[in-house]
A and B are shown apart, each in its own frame.
Chain A
Amino acid sequence: MSRIRLIQLGSSCLSKANFQNICSSGFKAPAARGLQVPADPTRRQRPDLLYSRLELELRAHDPAVLDSYVTFLQQAARHLGVTTGKLWEPPRHYQRLSLLKSVHIFAKHKVQYEARTYFRVLELLRLTGSTADTYLEYTQRMLPEGIAMKVSRYARESLPEHLSQRPDQSESDGKS
């Protein structure tokens, strides 16, 4: 899976010759330098994770920065060949604080402070685990100051056995 992903990457930003160079030099380098790579038989054999959907929830005080970052996310997805799904804005959240305008009395005159949180949710569809890791690594390193990102990953699981199969109906007493 990771190979496939690398080839997709290569097609967009590297020429094929360059990519093969990297393959031949970069991947074989540890052994050539005499470094001992611990043999991990399970590493190659384990299939890559498959996500049906990735939800990126972004929060910020400044909607302009948020919009610009969402544009960046979509561009990165387009260049990496990741399918994007819906983009929506959950209702913004206000934290309000009512205070007296004056230090002591004069309760008729109040003043209100508020801190707003704006939200954006972007969906990414049908990703492999390695693509998701690469994409998130890249985009989260570019995360501007003051923006928070929450990632929810959704994967499909096979129906568990106790639900897919009819439970054993026979009476099991100690005698039989």
Chain B
Amino acid sequence: MDVEPDRLIASVLRIAPPEPPCRPIHLTAACSKVSSGRYKVTRSKNKPLTYEQANPPHYLFVRKGFNSFNTSNLKDGVRPSESAMEDMFIRKFISGTWHNMFLSEVIIKRQLNMIRISGIVVRNILPRKMYFLIGYTEEMLTNWLQCPVKLELQTTDSREDVVFKYI
């Protein structure tokens, strides 16, 4: 009868057999409250911040609102994790599709089974292309998320319009 070499050595040396190899994963909810949503002051004080960015998270409900509006995280809310993942996916998709065009945060509002996405977009491409992007985004997200998705965008001429202060 074969004995595993590790166990044999362990029994000869009278030590505990080695643990099987493990791949630890990080499960702690590390939200980094100290640094998340806060921006460093630059030495030359020329980093532009929007109003949203200028107010750190403890000003939620005081000076600014949430970026995602849904009922998943209320008490007894259903599918909180799914909503969060979908929101993340929407934000990534938007930032990739509307590359370097969203000046504000992507606001995601869920009402009944409909998702409305809003934000401020800079007008640096032709209107024709912008209409294409709107249709494309709505169509793709509707297909992926299996619910009606609408884009409610506001446009602005220059990037300086949304700047609240420079730090």
Contact = CB atoms under 8 A, between A and B. Distances in A.
Nearest to A113: B31
B34 interface: yes
B74 A117 contact: yes
A97 to B, nearest CB: 6
A115 B75 CA distance: 9
A99 B34 contact: no
B29 A60 contact: no
Chain A interface extent, by class: 20 to 34
A64 B61 CA distance: 9
B73 interface: yes
B109 interface: yes
A140 to B, nearest CB: 8
B96 interface: no
B109 to A, nearest CB: 4
B33 A101 contact: yes
Contacts of B33: 99, 101, 111, 113
Which secondary structure dominates where chain B touches chain A?
loop
Given A99-B30, A111-B34, A145 B73 contact: no
A97 B73 CA distance: 13
Counting chain B CB atoms within 10 Å of each CB, which of A101, A111, A148 scores highest?
A148
Contacts of B34: 101, 111
Interface string A79-118: 0000000000000010101010101000000010101010
B166 interface: no
Nearest to B26: A103
Given A62-B65, A101-B34, A113-B33, A146 B28 contact: no
Interface in B52-69: 61, 65-66, 69
A99 B32 CA distance: 9
A97 B29 contact: yes
Across the A-B interface, the 7 shortest Cβ-Cβ residue pairs:
A145-B69, A146-B69, A145-B109, A148-B71, A117-B75, A111-B33, A59-B74
Interface of B: 28-34, 61, 65-66, 69-71, 73-75, 77, 109-112, 116
